[in-house]
Amino acid sequence: MSKKILVAGAGGFIGSHLVKRLKKEGNWVRGVDLKYPEFSGTAADDFVIGDLRDTGLCRHIADTRFDEVYQLAADMGGAGFVFTGTNDADIMHNSASINLNMLEACRRKNIKKIFYSSSACMYPEYNQMDPDNPKCSEDSAYPAAPDSEYGWEKLFSERLYLAYRKNHGIEVRIARYHNIFGPEGTWCGGREKSPAALCRKVAETEDGGSIEVWGDGKQTRSFLYIDECLEGTIRLTRSDFTGPVNIGSEEMVTINQLAETIMEIAGKKLSIKHIPGPLGVRGRNSDNKLIKEKLGWTPSMSLKKGLEITYKWIKEQVEQTKKAKK
Ligand code: NAD
């Protein structure tokens, strides 16, 4: 049956893809964001441009009893945005305000189901020092010690959602996303994440040249393709499990391996120049035991397959930008 759905952050990377997916299912969707999606038109039936830090705007958009609300809006970016420290006050103030306002607006309208996108950045730094054996099982979150203010805000907001569940009976669903990537994500400008940044560097560099990688490139991560993220998000929202639960890939690679895979896809041989830069934790990988147990599902697409699709899209963006500059 068709549902009435509200997506906050619908102009962003994951939000704009989620709206497309929910529309394909035949639902009525309202999106809200500070901006329209950057790379293609929105698929939403109704799109409100507005600031979710404004309580009035949140009440205005949550004007009916939506069947599902997806709260994806946040002030966020990759390591170059989150780990330099220069954006910490904005990150904490803006994202916490959005979550406080959205939950209160949903409570006032008696909206019963809200999904919240937390992040693997809330896991304690002390469990992520060994690049080969990072620990990110859901029950390892406490004692809390995230390595960024972005992670602390996510942890605060997870608790806020759980408090609204406990005191106001709202069915909340909380996912901890691990590095989501794919086409139509930020690929330049300072907020891009490593897969997009490396795809851009490889696409911009002539065969035989060199690209820069922050740190020694031996730090490990896993990356999840956008379609898998959406599948997990929708499955969780429609399940009877609250979470928090990891939505991520268990295919852990070093950043050097990530760069090499992209070079292989591009058919280029480039050397890697390691330079100082903001890094984050030494190792991180999703732990999918809980999602498998609770939802009977885990992501299965290989990193390489997702990178092939993403590289093709970023290469097109690079070429279009070059042409426009001529
Ligand atoms: P994104 O930056 O592309 O999307 C976030 C959107 O929120 C943006 O379009 C932005 O304009 C909007 N927004 C910010 N402040 C707003 C405000 N005051 N009012 C209205 N809209 C506002 O990020 P994304 O990658 O799509 O991430 C979506 C969510 O998932 C975020 O909460 C993020 O923290 C979380 N997450 C993402 C990843 C990832 O790898 N992409 C990993 C972990 C968690």
CA of 269 to the centre of ligand 1 (A): 34
Pairwise CA distance, residues 83 & 73, whole Å:
19
* Mean of pLDDT over the chain: 96
Atom of ligand 1 nearest to the CA of 98: 18
pLDDT tens digits, one per residue of 259-280: 999 999 999 999 999 999 888 8
Residue 315: phi and psi, rounded to 5, are -60, -40
Pairwise CA distance, residues 203 & 167, whole Å:
51
| 220 CB-near residues (< 8 Å, 6+ apart) | 131, 132, 134, 252, 253, 254, 255, 282, 283, 284, 285
Q: Which domains does the chain have, with CATH numbers?
A: 4-181+223-247 (3.40.50.720)
Max CA separation in the chain (angstroms): 60
Global pTM reads 0.97
Please give the pLDDT value at position 293. Answer: 98
Residue 322 pLDDT exceeds 90? no
CA of 138 to the centre of ligand 1 (A): 22
Q: Is 177 a catalytic residue?
A: no
> Mean of the pLDDT values across residues 248-267?
98
Please give the pLDDT value at position 95. Answer: 98
